[in-house]
Structure 1
Amino acid sequence: MLKEPSDLSTIVNLGEMRKRHDSKEEKYMRDRDMMRGERSRDGRPQGRLSRPLLIIIIVALFLGVTFYGPFDLSFLSLSGKHYVIIIDAGSTGSRIHVFSLKEAGMDGYKLLKDDFYPLEPGLSSYGKDPKKAAESLKPLLDFAYKKVPNESHEQTIVKVKATAGLRILSEEVANNILTEVEEYVKKNYKFKVLPKLAQIMDGTDEGVFAWISLNYFLDNWEPVPMKTAALDLGGGSFQLVFETENPDQLPTEAKGNVHKMPVAGMARNVYVKSYLGLGLKEARVKLLKKGEGEVLSSPCLPEKYTGDWEHGGSTYKIQGSSTSSYDNCLTSVKTTFEGAITPINELLTKDFYAFSYIYDKAKDGGLVSGVEGAVVTVADFTRIAKEACKAQLVDQRFQCLDTVYINYLFSHAFKMPEDFKMHVVKKVNGEEISWALGAAFREMDERKV
């Protein structure tokens, strides 16, 4: 049975934001008629206001302002250009996107520019000091203040959306941080303040927004089934999203993750699953805690390595093991995460895109170089995992653990064959893949409601 999403119904009103795919001739005729006014059969122009009607409207507006005060028309822009600020408050760091968007008539919105600036650590690192957590965002907000023209500050939406890092904290600690963040922004900046300025974003939203952004950059808004699947591996969680053409054939435990939603002119069955606690950094914690004693030992670390690792406000003393190897690391990963992920055969029919930490680790292993990434196979990840574990490089202490975990996800959890091909990317057509753009589109749609 398909879920009607509680919050997802407003995620993508793509009747507003989708791109039209008329032929060039149709677009030319449509745009010409909009400019000239389409003529009726008797030769009189349509689509223009008559002079008497225009006078009536102007007088009505004047009287309305005189007796009731100015209308709130802040959602309009004479230039059609808008700014939306999204702060991605992740588990390992906070990243700001200052989106410049332009209205494109019936074509929805067009992304003009994404000014991006990251910093570390993330908000979750300040669990004991919420005020310091809020103040940590100052460099990001100052960056946005300079990027948005002064005359647009008060009309510019700013949203701070926390992901897995704050989801993992206790509700009280997370809420204290979010409250301080909201108060800090209100007190120090003149951006437009809307309800829930700072909030924890549901993992389902995160996954769908990233999928929307990916398909937008791929220009996949044709009203036909979308073949694209997206896997976004973060620090605290990972998200898997794709349009399923056969929801009834999904495994029983996966059917509850299918949501009916409008995307690109069609009602679609979108499979979206967020695996909280299975992001790369949280996977490290679970694997390292299999060790005993004050110093945590793991066969996934270089044998001669000893040191400290900080994550989520905690410091772990860690070291390698005399049994460090690819096979022993894979065994440790299997026993830790066995059964946590549901394999889905339909994934093997998709145009599969993997990004975030998957790109980073593929780059560290030499699989990809430029930000546009490359097409690689599951076998390629198996190879670099074996190479990393064999090299035992102390200065790349987590490369064995991380690549074995990623290889486990593909080969064992999702049961992809070794020759399965995927796109491993950081950017598509020059734009960085992130859920933030999808979130910005939703903010613009909600602003019009």
Structure 2
Amino acid sequence: MGRFCISCLFPASWHFSLSPSTCPRPFNSTFRQLTALVLLTVFVSLLYVLLVLDKNRWGRLYQDRGDRYFTKLTDMEATDIKNPYLNYGIVIDCGSSGSRLFVYCWPRHNGNPHDLLDIKQMRGRNRQPVVMKIKPGISDLAATPEKASDYLAPLLNFAADHIPHSKHQETPLYILCTAGMRILPENQQNAILEDLRTDIPLNFDFLFADSHAEVISGKQEGVYAWIGINFVLGRFDHISDGEDSVVEVNLPGTEAQAAVLRKRTAGVLDMGGVSTQIAYEVPKTEEVAKNLLAEFNLGCDAHHTEHVYRVYVTTFLGFGGNAARKRYEEQIIHKITLTNRLLGQKTGLTEEIPYLDPCLPVDIKDEIHQGGRTVYLRGLGDFNWCRQMISPFLNKTNETSTSLSGVYQPQVDYQNSEFYGFSEFYYCTEDVLRMGGHYDVAKFTKAAQDYCATKWTILKERFDRGLYSSHADLHRLKYQCFKSAWMYEVLHSGFSFPVNYTNLKTAQLVYDKEVQWTLGAILYRTRYLPLRDIQLDNFKGNHTHWRGFSFVYNHYLFFGCFLVVLLSILLYLLRLRRIHRRMPHSMWMGEGGLPQMPEVA
């Protein structure tokens, strides 16, 4: 092994040499162990300098992790299912004609309690939204409720195939039933829901509680639609300096606090086949009956009131486009029956003597079948006369501040408001008239009048040439005149929007995204999840702070402790050296020639 010299480590006055042949074994072994300890301490210190104190490097790593945690999702790209920080949620809209599944996803919350989750529709590899629809509606299972879970199985299997399996147990599933289920007796509703609540947890691992399957009211559906459109428009985002279209809001229960400054929200108009809805935010000063008002906090913390909203929302059953046409046809039959009986006429009873319908295009032939009877119609195409004919169906009263059927409607600040019209409001303006988007009442009225007054043969020829929207069919062409008049009357006579109102946009897509009430539902029902993430991050942050306190911000203390340890080792070596020089060699050997360590005082 040769000689081992450590003279380079100590001052000249401390020099001494040791070798296996001249140095007693215990001293040589102890010395080597202590020397190894010194070298190990130096090595650890170098690692500390290279790794822990390189704040820029570790800062970049932390930022990279933060980007994966909190970065906003793109709207049109395929969802990165390999990202472990994404969360998923499922909403099934069980409507009257079918059930439709939507899968949503969002990154972890950014930690700001004022912001909502960044929820987007999940997109598959083809960049299309993960959506699936089945028919008929779940209400058709009223007589066989035990088949409800089997009925929804294709939708749930579809969702399970798209969502990473490792995420299934933490993915909330909501099954929300609307108009079709509302009209069923309560015992039939409960039987269907009970089958879902019992069987689905047996076959799927999604996060599914009993409260996740329910029949929602028209009011809830309207609120969810209002939340969805305003979320897509960014009206719930935190405002910044210089932000346009802001409003001061006095929130309920905050009388002693200053008004909150936030973005002005948009109102929603939605006309389906059966019902029509309206929803918009109202100030605290407006007194509204509880059954017409929804007060809710979209924020994750009940103590933060920046996202408290008061929304007037009402659903009018029987005021959808198809329901209104059905009522109108019933009136025609009643009118024909009464007139023919009194005057002895046969109007509408044969094709040669049809009833002239001002709400159908010129010269189109149509039939009404009811009670085994057939009534023959021929279009007259008079838009203004059609409006007069259907105006009584609004059930308006002479009272002020009322809308359809005399229901109270809070005052709308038309000068400082914005509304979006969906479903029939969009179809009436776009599918045939090709005027979807910004609503101009004068242009719309002129286009509707011209359409009604055009002969059916010409309209049919235009349809065959593909001049209308790809969504338009012959049914739309036939009843476009009636539905245009009905939409006009509901908007301007029913909801009392001025004829010069310029802040209505009819839409199907907003920012190239289809806006469904299911988006508002998942936002509302997951509103407390950010608080969980914030608390978890705070917990981790405290531990990170402690580690930083020990190794980063107090590295001087670390080096101080290191120097004290090193000095102690050197002093101990010096002590051993002095003892070794003073004692004869024989004292280092015990009985039988065995090594004996000296006692150190």
TM-score (norm 1): 0.69
Match of 1:287 in 2: 328
Counterpart CA distance in 1 for 2:443 and 2:180 is: 30
Match of 1:300 in 2: 359
| Counterparts of residues 180-195 of structure 1 (less than 5 Å) | 180-182=195-197, 185-186=200-201, 188-195=203-210
**Structure 1 residues 385, 440: closer, same or farther in 2, change over 3 A?**
same
Output one character per residue of 1:324-348: Cα deviation in whole Å (capped at 9) or x when no partner.
Answer: 6423432332112222255554152
Match of 1:241 in 2: 279
Match of 1:405 in 2: 486
**Structure 1 residues 181, 108: closer, same or farther in 2, change over 3 A?**
same
Percent of aligned pairs with the same amino acid: 26
**Structure 1 residues 85, 323: closer, same or farther in 2, change over 3 A?**
same
**Partner of residue 260 from structure 1, selected from 286, 289, 295:** 295
**Partner of residue 91 from structure 1, selected from 73, 82, 96:** 96
* Residue-pair matches, total: 368
**Structure 1 residues 256, 166: closer, same or farther in 2, change over 3 A?**
closer
| Counterparts of residues 432-443 of structure 1 (less than 5 Å) | 432-443=514-525
Deviating more after overlay: 98-107 vs 266-275? 266-275
Match of 2:313 in 1: 272
Q: Letter of the 1:85 partner, please give it.
A: I
Output one character per residue of 1:377-413: Cα deviation in whole Å (capped at 9) or x when no partner.
Answer: 2334434433443344682222222222211111211
**Structure 1 residues 279, 158: closer, same or farther in 2, change over 3 A?**
farther
- Return the offset for 1:446: 5.5
Q: Letter of the 1:412 partner, please give it.
A: S
Match of 2:44 in 1: none
1:382 lines up with 2:473 in the alignment: no
Q: Letter of the 1:211 partner, please give it.
A: W
Q: Is the 2:274–2:319 contact (alpha carbons within 8 Å) kept by the matching residues of 1?
A: yes
User: Alignment RMSD, CA only?
Assistant: 3.9
Q: Letter of the 1:389 partner, please give it.
A: C
- Return the offset for 1:194: 0.9
Match of 1:56 in 2: none
- Return the offset for 1:174: 3.8
| Counterparts of residues 23-422 of structure 1 (less than 5 Å) | 79-106=84-111, 107-114=115-122, 115-125=130-140, 127=142, 130=145, 135-182=150-197, 185-186=200-201, 188-221=203-236, 222=238, 223-224=261-262, 226-245=264-283, 247-248=285-286, 257-263=292-298, 265-292=306-333, 300-301=359-360, 304-306=364-366, 320-321=377-378, 325-339=382-396, 340=405, 342=408, 344-348=410-414, 349-368=416-435, 374-391=437-454, 392=456, 395=474, 396-421=477-502, 422=504
Counterpart CA distance in 1 for 2:195 and 2:177 is: 13
Match of 1:424 in 2: 506
- Return the offset for 1:235: 3.2
Q: Is the 2:148–2:196 contact (alpha carbons within 8 Å) kept by the matching residues of 1?
A: yes
- Return the offset for 1:318: 7.8
Counterpart CA distance in 2 for 1:189 and 1:404 is: 48
Equivalent position SS for 1:146: helix
Q: Is the 1:384–1:403 contact (alpha carbons within 8 Å) kept by the matching residues of 2?
A: no
| Counterparts of residues 11-30 of structure 1 (less than 5 Å) | none
Q: Is the 2:116–2:527 contact (alpha carbons within 8 Å) kept by the matching residues of 1?
A: no
Equivalent position SS for 1:105: coil
Q: Is the 1:247–1:269 contact (alpha carbons within 8 Å) kept by the matching residues of 2?
A: no
Counterpart CA distance in 1 for 2:373 and 2:174 is: 33
Output one character per residue of 1:50-78: Cα deviation in whole Å (capped at 9) or x when no partner.
Answer: xxxxxxxxxxxxxxxxxxxxxxxxxxxx9
Output one character per residue of 1:117-175: Cα deviation in whole Å (capped at 9) or x when no partner.
Answer: 33444334555554666655444333222221222223322222122232233334444
When Rg is computed on C-alpha atoms for both structures, the one with the higher figure is 2
Q: Which has the higher contact order (CA 8 A, sep 6+)?
A: 1
Counterpart CA distance in 2 for 1:307 and 1:227 is: 45
Deviating more after overlay: 413-422 vs 122-131? 122-131
**Structure 1 residues 320, 308: closer, same or farther in 2, change over 3 A?**
closer
**Structure 1 residues 103, 282: closer, same or farther in 2, change over 3 A?**
farther
**Structure 1 residues 442, 154: closer, same or farther in 2, change over 3 A?**
same
Q: Letter of the 1:228 partner, please give it.
A: A
Counterpart CA distance in 2 for 1:388 and 1:126 is: 42
Equivalent position SS for 1:398: helix
**Structure 1 residues 284, 128: closer, same or farther in 2, change over 3 A?**
farther
**Structure 1 residues 194, 384: closer, same or farther in 2, change over 3 A?**
farther
Q: Letter of the 1:430 partner, please give it.
A: D
- Return the offset for 1:229: 1.0
**Structure 1 residues 343, 259: closer, same or farther in 2, change over 3 A?**
closer
**Structure 1 residues 188, 128: closer, same or farther in 2, change over 3 A?**
same
Q: Is the 2:223–2:294 contact (alpha carbons within 8 Å) kept by the matching residues of 1?
A: no
Q: Is the 1:326–1:385 contact (alpha carbons within 8 Å) kept by the matching residues of 2?
A: yes
**Structure 1 residues 308, 103: closer, same or farther in 2, change over 3 A?**
farther
- Return the offset for 1:85: 0.8
**Structure 1 residues 267, 397: closer, same or farther in 2, change over 3 A?**
same
Output one character per residue of 1:337-369: Cα deviation in whole Å (capped at 9) or x when no partner.
Answer: 22225555415231111113322332213334x
- Return the offset for 1:254: 6.5
- Return the offset for 1:228: 1.4
- Return the offset for 1:90: 2.3
- Return the offset for 1:290: 2.5
**Structure 1 residues 200, 101: closer, same or farther in 2, change over 3 A?**
same
Output one character per residue of 1:166-225: Cα deviation in whole Å (capped at 9) or x when no partner.
Answer: 223333444444444555644543323211343211222211211111111111124525
Match of 1:18 in 2: none
Match of 1:52 in 2: none
Q: Letter of the 1:365 partner, please give it.
A: V
